[in-house]
Amino acid sequence: MPQPSEKSIQKIRKFIEHYCEKAGMQTHEDSSITDSIVVGLAANLEELGRPLCPCRFYPDKKEELKHRTWVCACDDMQIYKYCHCMLFVTPEGLPVTEYLPEDHEGRKTYGLIKDPTPDKGRSLRAHAEAREKERQERHS
């Protein structure tokens, strides 16, 4: 992955800072985790025009953009307040799992992690039921 420009990195950092305030989250305390995600988001911003999540593999990144699912802040973050990348975490450095379906891999991995700011974030929470149905169809 090519190194993105400082301008793109700063744009992503500003977005992350704003999103943390909006969602009541913080970035991971291990700066190497945050920094690597920032660089990946910035590189995808330059390559694709959108900050596609760098923590996933895409057979076709441009095709993936049409779905919007993994553009940061991804659907899982906006529906469940769960960040697969560990970019947006609780003060303890853990992802919120409270809103995930009980059989979700995040819930299995981390257990029940309560949302420290339930009055913030989850702008797409109304889509949780449809997302769960899609997930169940993929796994059946």
Catalytic residue numbers, as ranges: 55
**Distance in angstroms (rounded) separating the CA atoms of residues 6 and 12:** 10
**Distance in angstroms (rounded) separating the CA atoms of residues 88 and 78:** 11
13, 4 contact by CB (below 8 A): no
Cα angle 21, 25, 27; round to 5: 100
Distance of CA 23 to the CA centre of its chain: 11
**Distance in angstroms (rounded) separating the CA atoms of residues 130 and 39:** 32
Burial of 101 (0-12, 13-18, 19+ CB in 10 A): middle
SS3 state of residue 53? coil
